[in-house]
Structure 1
Amino acid sequence: MSNPADQDARPIASTKELADVLASGCKPRDSWRIGTEHEKFGFVRPEAATDKRRAFSAPPYAPGGIEDLLNATERQGDWTPIWDEKAIIGLKGQGVNRGGAISLEPAGQFELSGAPLASLHETADEFSRHFRLLREPARKLGLGFAPLGFHPLASRADLPWMPKSRYAIMRKYMPQVGSLGLDMMQRTCTVQVNLDFASETDMARKMKVSLALQPVATALFANSPFYEGKPNGWLSNRARIWTDTDNARSGMPEICFSDSFGFESYVEWALDVPMYFIVRNGRLIDVAGRSFRAWLAGEHQDGLDGFTPAIGDFEDHLTTVFPDVRLKTFLEMRGADAGSPEMMLAQSALWVGLLYDDASLSAAESLMREHTAESYRTLRGDVPARGLDTPFGSGTVRDVAARMVAIAADGLRARNLRDADGRDETLHLAPLFEIAAGGPTQAEHWLARYEGPWAGDTSRILLEAEI
């Protein structure tokens, strides 16, 4: 969401003007960047829990929790606070962190929204810098952080709510439109990569490929096999949660697979997604369930009378639609569970390799066209349970994943961007080669630990997954 002071207050003159907002993201190839966002669950480290019942519990906002961590992180320098009324709810990067931000998900999941960077090597450096930044103040507070797709231990009642106005509105609205929306808010973590496009045609190609293949990525990065301390029957419970969160704003919109898909058609789809809020005088006004299209048409709607729709309102609205690939002035890949730092970096490497080289994008298009859009929608519902072993076509999802990883490797080699040791970006795909060849996913690894050395003690996952 844009900060209120930065919001574009120009009245909306036409839907074409809204399409132009999206088109403003078009960039020449040499300006394409990589922005990686990743989330992780906080927990009280067992040695810091004076009451042993608090070991592995989620930290509160305050005292001794997330608020203190944000303040301590700010004091390390190169960060300025982001406020929601009187509560600090994030940090904006300055200096070496310029272009990045730290924000909070509803239950205090800590998120780095990485800066737009030119190479995956720079992304790897950013990961390392962020984890170093977080560890010292977190340890002083007795906290640890573990990136997993779904909280392995906590019930919703066990988890706090962060003091963000946006989340108060969503918390009230979500149960009206799906059975799992509050689980999505409080108990999931994801990793996503944000990528650029050159033109409307380039955007449409990348959208179709990445949206269709997103369920394969879900299977590759599955990392949420536990529910309140026990195996849940899913490899990606996070992905299952998204099948009944708010389907009017989620999933794989049919319009994105149309031959005529472009900026205006995405705008038309988004206008029919129910609203959450508008911002006026620095405050969020709850208009959940109202129609942006009806507002534009001047129709009476409670809470919106007297307000003129502005460009900034639509930009904020775009942050409240949740398709598996989201279009803003860039494309966001949203189908993967949070995981180990190596796997989260591999998620970025996969999509950069597939989408940022012409030959690889063409190869990925050919792969995508072997199946129908409807078959990918069906696959989206199937992979959370069986992952890479899900039957698909004449084989399994693992067969498609192996081909995706191979195409991505070709794309990264073609980019020929090397680190200080002369290695190209394919090194960041290393964990995916192993999985695609038959190795265990992260979820399968944890299930083996649960059945073996953990002897059913799921709390062990937090320390073993800790960054």
Structure 2
Amino acid sequence: MSAPPSGGGAPIENRRQLIEYFAAGNKPRDAWRMGTEHEKFGFHKSTLKPLAYDGPDGIRAMLDGLTRFGWEPVTEGNNTIALKRDSASITLEPGGQFELSGAPLETLHDTAAENQQHINEVNQVAGEIGAAFIGLGFAPEWTREDMHWMPKGRYKIMREYMPKKGKLGLDMMLRTCTVQTNLDFESEADMVKKFRVSLALQPLATALFAISPFKEGKDSGFKSYRSHIWTDTDPDRCGMLPFVFEDGFGFERYADYILDVPMYFVYRDGKYIDASGQKFADFMKGKLPARPGELPTINDWADHVTTAFPEVRLKRYLEMRGADSGPLPALNALPAFWVGLLYDQTALNAAWDLVKDWTIAEHDFLRAETPKTGLATVFRGRPLTEWAREAVEIAHAGLRARKRLDAHGNDETTYLAPLDRAVASGLAPADELLAKWQGEWKGSFVPLFRDHAY
């Protein structure tokens, strides 16, 4: 969800600084990079139950074990709650989901190598303590009561606040896993076009990567139950952001949106101070109830930006947030999809042509319907599979144009293979899992944990 805050930073003296925070992300094309983040569930191989934090076979043991590979611990109080190595980090989601936040890298080949190295390291340590990890969008059998809360102050505040805003916020925190890609922009205009294209196409990514059809041992009725959960988490900070498609959208309009998002916390002296439901705009006036008379710093703003959860999120880069986590090929396919669409100008223009006349009502329809029916969703008289096929073809063209080859002469289109199969068959991973569960698995989840763990 987020690395620990650093605190401090320059004081905020005017609203312009909030806008400039985002504008500072502008980068020339030769400096563009890609960052991939993915979460995964850890479980005991003997019981198929989730890992607790403490104990010789828990999450803390995993973090401690990974330090042999050069990862440095990050602590909160007496607890290790993250690891850092160079410009990458490993962090914990509220229910113990393990997240790799990868380094900013130049090519998809680099991303694939990073993901493979991480999985190898995790598997080595997990094997020693009788654990394993699996990539799915939602825990297939576990209840909320099965999950173990991680000892992070941020999550205590969110845990108490979430039920006030939606019915599924605690499920989001405890039982979901995602994969996301972070991409750069050249200018405000470039950011706007990429934001609009990627926001419109998030439902297609949801459908292509859907792999969370189960809830508490049953068919949930959704192809991506993870994606559905976000529709009833917190309306103040989640959703599709229709203003992104309005004339005049840019850094300033997004800053206004973040100002309106209620706060969670203020971080001071290594501690999280509950400011849930309070307004950052009041903080700027010295009138924040949690810190009366105090003015925020730019790091407070950076922390607050991380507490909004739209389908695409702007920081000093754009985050694509619409996909379920999954097996290793899917972790490589997501950045391939978005890099192909957004990092080549011809591809970006083609993707914009695909979506530019979609209405806000149609965006809302896709956001609501796609988690249920996935690639079978009918949109403008055609199954979403056909729309996804067009988008994947554009991504192929964009990656071919980049001409980034690996040591064997393969370009980056090789990482789109899972999506090629999905659009050819009309079946996402969720469809395949449901078929196995209803057929050869005979309603058991043992084969899922056995065969689909990393």
| SS state at 1:437 partner | helix
| Residue of structure 1 equivalent to 2:202 | 214
Deviation at 1:12, TM superposition (A): 1.0
Task: Name the residue aligned to 1:254.
Answer: 242
Q: Which range moved further: 181-190 or 244-253?
A: 244-253
Counterpart of 1:306 in structure 2: which amino acid? G
Secondary structure of the residue aligned to 1:285 is: strand
| Structure 2 CA distance for aligned equivalents of residues 210 and 57 of structure 1 | 36
Match of 1:179 in 2: 167
Q: What's 2:82 paired with?
A: 90
Q: Which residue of 2 aligns with 1:349?
A: 336
* TM-score of the pair, normalised by structure 1: 0.95
Supply the AA of the counterpart residue of 1:382: E
Residue 109 (structure 1) aligned to one of 93, 97, 105: 97
Deviation of 1:439 after TM superposition, in Å, equals: 4.2
Judging changes above 3 Å, is the alpha-carbon distance between structure 1 residues 257 and 370 closer, same or farther for their aligned structure 2 residues? closer
Alignment of 1:39-438 (within 5 A): 39-46=39-46, 55-64=47-56, 65-74=58-67, 76-93=68-85, 98-299=86-287, 301-438=288-425
The match for 1:451 is 438
- 1:145/1:321 CA distance change after superposition, 3 Å: same
TM-aligned CA deviation for residue 374 of structure 1: 2.6
1:278-310 superposed Cα distances (whole Å, 9 cap, x missing partner): 1111211010000111222333x4212132111
Aligned-pair CA distance for 1:257: 1.3
Q: 1:2 Cα shift?
A: 6.3
Any gaps of 5 or more consecutive residues in structure 2? none
Aligned counterpart, 1:51: none
Distance (whole Å) between structure 2 residues aligned to residue 205 and residue 38 of structure 1: 25
Please name the residue that 1:52 is paired with: none
User: Which residue of structure 2 aligns with residue 463 of structure 1?
Assistant: 450
TM-score normalised to the size of structure 2?
0.98
**8 Å Cα contact 2:385/2:426 also seen in 1:** no
Deviation beyond 4 Å, 4+ runs, structure 1: 1-4
Shift of residue 3, structure 1, vs aligned partner: 4.6
Q: Is the CA contact (8 Å cut-off) linking 2:40 and 2:134 kept in structure 1?
A: yes
Q: Does 2:18 match 1:18?
A: yes
Query: Is the Cα contact below 8 Å between 1:255 and 1:269 reproduced in 2?
Result: no
Q: Which amino acid aligns with 2:62?
A: L
CA distance in 2, matches of 1:126, 1:313: 31
Amino acid at match of 1:41: F
Distance 2:26 2:227 in 1: 30
Displacement, 1:460? 2.2
Cα deviation, 1:201-234, whole Å, max 9, x if unaligned, reads 1000000000011011101110001111111111
Conservation of the 8 A alpha-carbon contact between 2:285 and 2:295: no
Residue 50 of structure 1 corresponds to which residue in structure 2? none
Quote the offset at 1:264 in angstroms.
0.9
In structure 2, the partner of 1:441 is 428
Change (3 A) 1:254 1:371: closer
Q: 1:298 to 1:308 in 2, by over 3 A?
A: closer
State the SS of the aligned residue for 2:36: strand
Q: % of aligned pairs identical?
A: 48
**3-state DSSP of counterpart to 1:21:** helix
> Do the aligned partners of 1:213 and 1:376 also contact (CA within 8 Å) in 2?
no
Quote the Cα distance in structure 1 between the aligned partners of 2:385 and 2:78: 49
CA RMSD of aligned residues (A): 1.1
Letter aligned with residue 443 of structure 2: G
> For 1:369 and 1:308, how far apart are their aligned partners in 2?
41
Cα offset, 1:184, TM superposition = 0.2
